[in-house]
Amino acid sequence: MNGDQLMDETQKREPLDVVVIGAGFAGLYMLHKLRALGMKAVVLEAAENVGGTWYWNRYPGARCDVESLEYSYSFDDALQQEWHWSERYATQPELLRYINHVADRFDLRRDIRFNTRVASAARDEQNNLWTLSSEGGETFTARYCISAVGCLSLPSLPAFKGRDSFAGRLYHTGLWPREGVDFTGLRVGVIGTGSSGVQVIPHIAQQAKHLHVFQRTPHYSVPAKNRPLDPGETARYKARYPEHREAARQSAIGIAGFPVPTQSALEVSAEERTEAYGMGWERGSTGYTRIYTDILKNEVANATASDFVKMRIQQVVRDPAVATRLTPRYMIGTKRLCLDTQYFETYNRENVVLVDVSEAPIDQITEHGIRTTAREYELDAIVMATGFDAITGALKGIDIRGSGGQSLAQKWEAGPRAYLGLMTSGFPNLFLITGPGSPSVLSNVVTSIEQHVEWIADCLAHLRQHGIARMDADLAAEDRWVQTVNEAANATLLPKGNSWYLGANVEGKPRVFMPYAGGVGNYRVVCDQVVIDGYRGFLLS
């Protein structure tokens, strides 16, 4: 009998303790913690292997924008000491190797069901169980269900007319073919210039015969200044790993190495600011918007940081008309800041043309390429770097039914509501790792994942110890937390950008600022205090 058959047999006999959805960073660590608690758990994963985001986003140039030594698990000191990161910012293949290494090192695969996409999760109130069904028709029953589906896992493909009529090949950066793509000699069009576009464009430009970039919004990007990691530097960092990790946990965005601003941009001279922004630019990190306390809080302060990047774009891009089209018009940081390698420089190449689709939008995809309202562009391949239905898309894509058959998608129709981003009222025993209303995408997500996984594991141990079978979020506590999330966002400029943080990138999605902007360290204190207060705001029975 193989592992899968064994699991099926087990399922027939008795329910599992926990079903986890997703085998990315979150699902793997959750499984490891559940095992340590002696719980019977299964992870259901749509892909054929582990990795989550780093499994799917295999496009050329895919690379993390948090430094490798920080974007990694901290829960096991031997793991963090033994793993060798080769570059300051890890590439997708290196990250995927790391995640595979973790799966093997902790022997996690035997409890993961691959090629198993969850279609529905239904609450059986009478028996206090969750039953999950896969698209393939298998069912899994457990006391607890834990979502580890990730915040950026449902690709967003704009519904361009004629998408299926294109005779060439069409790709999405978040669903990249495993075998890779050779663009040599091809005429390629890339739609989208967010983080994925900014990374993939320089790589395709080097291969393709010709590249058209279809840009709707010019975005801010700062150079990554990526480089190989020096062994001495790595050793010194690792020698102080516990301190660095603790600093990350207490920090605003889960990264120890970011500057902690102490001054307003408006209380220093213009020369001093220019020098600070120049140093930030040379440092190469998204910490650029954290140089002063008020870059993300005050429009005048923000303009000083925005203007510096605009000036750099004008300096890098040789054709002044192209430089102007590449110059952002919104406030820096109100959409996620990109980190690039040779992005703006790519527009100095002979084989690259920037097509501004803000005024003449894409009208349709044709058999031969892309037609804007101005003209048609003939292409052999189209790459959609058009992003994701972020934070809620993957969860709403599963037919989740809570108490009384209530649908999660319906409950969240006007925007997601969750207490601490961990549970949503009316869906007992369903936990959300990095759910809406938690720092998630506004942080080094691995730091945030570890905090949630550990909080949930401690919570499950507490429930078991006290003979509590059912846990739900109290609706009043949830409402208050949603208000706190709104207040935290409104204390910043973040809601003023047309960003995916707000759902603005998906047609028809409600405009609600979804992550908690109050900071990773502050959020941790709130979560810990809730526990100290006897799981305040949760209903335990």
- Under the criterion CB under 6 A, does residue 190 sit at the interface with ligand N01? no
- Under the criterion CB under 6 A, does residue 392 sit at the interface with ligand N01? no
Tokens 């059986």 -> residue: 124
| Least distance from ligand N01 to the Cβ atom of residue 179, Å | 21
How many Å apart are CA 159 and CA 364, to the nearest integer?
Answer: 9
Q: Which of 387, 416, 426, 428 binds ligand N01 (CB under 6 A)?
A: 387
Token pair of 307 as six digits: 């203007």
- C-beta neighbour count of 503 within 10 angstroms: 22
Stretch that binds ligand N01, among 5-13, 210-218, 288-296, 526-534 (CB under 6 A): 210-218
Neighbouring-strand partners of residue 362:
372
Name the residue among 463, 467, 433, 471 with its Cα closest to residue 450: 433
| Least distance from ligand N01 to the Cβ atom of residue 44, Å | 23
- Under the criterion CB under 6 A, does residue 111 sit at the interface with ligand N01? no
DSSP strand pairing (118-124 vs 129-134): antiparallel
- Under the criterion CB under 6 A, does residue 285 sit at the interface with ligand N01? no
- For 369, the enclosing helix (H) or strand (E) is strand 369-372
- Under the criterion CB under 6 A, does residue 195 sit at the interface with ligand N01? yes
Q: Applying CB under 6 A, what is the total number of residues that bind ligand N01? A: 28
| Least distance from ligand N01 to the Cβ atom of residue 154, Å | 11
How many Å apart are CA 226 and CA 220, to the nearest integer?
Answer: 18
367-386 binders of ligand N01 (CB under 6 A): 385-386
Point out the residue whose Cβ comes nearest to ligand N01: 194
- Under the criterion CB under 6 A, does residue 61 sit at the interface with ligand N01? no
Tokens 């895919």 -> residue: 62
Name the residue among 404, 443, 403, 441 with its Cα closest to residue 423: 403
Query: Amino acid identity, residue 455?
Result: W
Stretch that binds ligand N01, among 103-111, 214-222, 415-423, 431-439 (CB under 6 A): 214-222
Q: Residues 189, 381: contact at Cβ < 8 Å?
A: yes
| Least distance from ligand N01 to the Cβ atom of residue 335, Å | 7
Stretch that binds ligand N01, among 59-67, 95-103, 130-138, 346-354 (CB under 6 A): 59-67
- What are the strands, taking DSSP E only, across 199-258? 210-215, 221-223
CA 313 to centroid of chain Cα atoms: 27
Q: Which of 212, 336, 396, 509 binds ligand N01 (CB under 6 A)?
A: 336
The footprint of ligand N01 (CB under 6 A) covers: 63-65, 152, 158, 173, 191-197, 199, 214, 216-217, 336, 339, 357, 362, 385-388, 441, 500, 505
